[in-house]
Amino acid sequence: MNELTCTEVSTPRLTTNVWTSGPEDGLPLLLVHGNLTTGGFWRYVAAELPDDVRVIAPDLRGFGGTEPLPVDATRGLGDMVDDVRALLEVLGLAGTGRVNAVGWSMGAGVLQQYALTHPGDLASLTLVAPLSPYGFGGTRGEDGQPCTDDAAGTGGGGANSDFVRRLAAGDASEDDPQTSPRVIMRTFFGAGANAANVDEDFLVKELLTTRTGDDFYPGDSTASPSWPMVAPGTRGILNTMSPRHFDATAIVDLDPKPPITWVHGTADQVVSDRSMFDLATLGELGAVPGWPGADTMPPQPMVAQMRAVLGRYAAAGGQVREVALEGIGHGLPLEVPGRLAEEIAATLVR
């Protein structure tokens, strides 16, 4: 069994907290976590991976033990891409083409942008419940057409202020379940039916390392003339994923094209065609007043968009494998770590 341990690695950009396991000379496997999590969330997957794999799971800036430098959202997820590249350079792995990479949710968005910025660097990609190549929220249809000119309803202004306040306070309680970080994690990206086999207190402790504010989570926002009267700003985590700043659809034209495995759960409430974190879905449900209707601001079809872009990737000569897990939610690294490890192992380029 491979158990993750932490090491601080200094790079020219920042000091990164890195979770590692396996032999130092093993096959390098980069694991990139998602929003509100850390590299430590990969511990159960790492334990199930082949013994010859060297896991490298950094905490992204704004999360975990990594140096908390501000996030420039105008570059999409570019700050995180450059941080990961700097880490791989220090480790002697950048540009070798030997690194297999797995990204979960936002982390899959980081890898999509990484592949565009450094083509040929990654031997394979496994996208786990991935951020749509069109960003999070504010787009319609499989081709990701913008709903408004300013990406209204996306970015930092969409976060629940009480949830952010409790996150900043390090509140690990279950009081007021609608805004409890513990309950939100458990409900939307936790272990589901596998809860008895994970250490929830450890996961909550990691979750509560998330830095908050305009430069971190959720980020800043601007006023908008369009519903819900708020648009993304230029700083912080949620703005990095707004379609105003993030567009990875050019992965279709990558050369060379690493093989891609797309793993997702059919019961995902975070990245889905009716995400419970998409303000358009919440508006449709009446939870956000004034929704202008599906003709103006429909829920983003995130899964359909991912499938369409990967379909074009395959048509352009790329190798794509889709794995849809029935009844599984967003927290795949916690809910089905063994199955996910199997799919990762099947994708490894040696």
Average pLDDT for 6-17: 98
Confidence of residue 2 (pLDDT cuts 50, 70, 90): confident
Q: pLDDT for 168-180, tens place per residue?
A: 999 999 999 999 9
Tens digits of per-residue pLDDT, 298-307?
Answer: 999 999 999 9
Whole-number pLDDT of residue 280: 98
Nearest in space to 44 (alpha carbons), one of 185, 203, 186? 203
Condensed to tens digits (0 to 9), the pLDDT of residues 233-282 reads 999 999 999 999 999 999 999 999 999 999 999 999 999 999 999 999 99
Mean pLDDT of the chain: 98
Phi, psi at residue 222, to the nearest 5°?
A: -130, 160
At 230, the pLDDT band (50, 70, 90 cuts) reads very high
Domains in the chain: ranges and CATH: 5-347 (3.40.50.1820)
End-to-end CA distance of the chain: 20
The yes-or-no verdict on residue 341 having pLDDT over 90 is yes
Q: What is the 3-state secondary structure (H, E, C) of the chain?
A: CCCCEEEEEECCCCEEEEEEECCCCCEEEEEECCCCCCHHHHHHHHCCCCCCEEEEEECCCCCCCCCCCCCEHHHCCHHHHHHHHHHHHHCCCCCCCCEEEEEECHHHHHHHHHHHHCCCCEEEEEEECCCCCCCCCCEECCCCEECCCCCCCCCHHHCCHHHHHHHHCCCCCCCCCCCCHHHHHHHHCCCHHHHHHCCHHHHHHHHCCCCEECCCEECCEEECCCCCCEEECCECHHHHCCCCCCCCHHHHHCCCCCCEEEEEECCCCCCCCCCCCCHHHHHHCCCCCCCCCCCCCCCCCHHHHHHHHHHHHHHCCCCEEEEEECCCCCCHHHHCHHHHHHHHHHHCCC
Share of the chain above pLDDT 90, in %: 99
pLDDT tens-place string over residues 78-128: 999 999 999 999 999 999 999 999 999 999 999 999 999 999 999 999 999
157-211 pLDDT, tens digit each: 999 999 999 999 999 999 999 999 999 999 999 999 999 999 999 999 999 999 9
Burial pattern 314-326, b for ≥16 Cβ within 10 A else e, equals beeebebeebebe
Place of tokens 């379909």: 311
pLDDT band at 292 (very low <50, low <70, confident <90, very high): very high
Q: What is the pLDDT of residue 1?
A: 64
